[in-house]
Structure 1
């Protein structure tokens, strides 16, 4: 549903020749998808303000579909982290408004100060580091003893490896690929992961 929305938003901006092999992009982010496809279509730099238009249209496209569904255990995990005062943050390749729409559709707690997106960083490493900095400011910490990156895609694992972060894989779809690529910990859902924290 989300990648269909991305494609339709690119089309709405007049981009006709769209590379829809999103999993093989250099950066698996909304902002890169826009710039990459714009530049390959028009052979010129993306104009100022187009990212804003893309973000707005993405929300419109997403609202044409059924709401996204919470990953099993997400709400319970967030409540647990908050109750135990364990710092956390959200790092996503989406843009802010689509990311927040997904959180709201799942009825998950969030604070915008803790949402790092591809609006400011095309690379996943960039917004993950931004997320860590946001968490330090929000929780008033100068450092963290350990940072665990949680994700469901190979690009999430590679980002964690590139930044020397611990990684936890979630979901059955990419479990074998994640394990083969070096993930030490994979769980079927967030409930199973949380059980290791209790």
Structure 2
């Protein structure tokens, strides 16, 4: 068995650590509307990339029939935070805050990889009292694809923990896209939540748990 301190755990955020998916999808839609995008494809589950940056570019180019400019990302990010604050604070997925704290207390390496943009991601973690460091947070600000920001998270963790390599890397997520990304990158995968559990298992996931607390019992 690989020692825990030689294993890197890469956490998705929405639906994995924070119970924020429905609220956040509404916020994404309203934030795009505030930028003048009227015809929005809200079938987010069928997007090529499940990321904020891709959602904005895809819908912007559909509406305005011209190339997307990256300088719109900052306005979109700020609009997202504004929309999120219209809702009650999000709650953690059961056991998330305590597991992250246990990882810190036991010097177990971890990082975050999310399709959200940085400010919304940090707000969700803060509302759930989940510890984070910006240096360990990889987002869709720099990569539209999940593979891109998961690899960014890995590089961030290497620098943060001063480790040139990890013996084992475990990706933890709630969506089918999280599993497919882990498979594409040859990473171990842990599924969280009951909503997509059946689809995850059908697609090859062998470790699925109802929440983070249940998963944590397999570690500690």
The ranges of structure 1 where at least 4 consecutive aligned residues each deviate by more than 3 angstroms after the TM superposition are none
Show the counterpart of 2:154: 132
Kindly indicate whether residue 128 of structure 2 is the aligned counterpart of residue 120 of structure 1.
no
**Deviation at 1:79?**
1.1
Aligned equivalents of 2:109, 2:69: Cα separation in 1: 37
Equivalence map 1:1-12=2 (5 Å): 1-12=23-34
Which is strand-richer, 1 or 2? 2
Equivalence map 1:73-92=2 (5 Å): 73-92=95-114
Q: Deviations over 1:106-158 (max 9, x none)?
A: 01100000000000000000000000000000000000000000000001000
**Deviation at 1:48?**
4.0
Question: Of the two structures, which has the highest relative contact order with CA contacts closer than 8 Å and spacing of 6 or more?
Answer: 2
RMSD: 0.6
SS in 2 for 1:169: strand
Show the counterpart of 2:123: 101
- Which residues of structure 2 form unaligned runs of 5+? 1-22
**Deviation at 1:47?**
2.5
Show the counterpart of 2:216: 194
TM-score, normalised to structure 2, is 0.89
**Deviation at 1:100?**
0.2
Aligned equivalents of 2:46, 2:172: Cα separation in 1: 20
**Deviation at 1:74?**
0.4
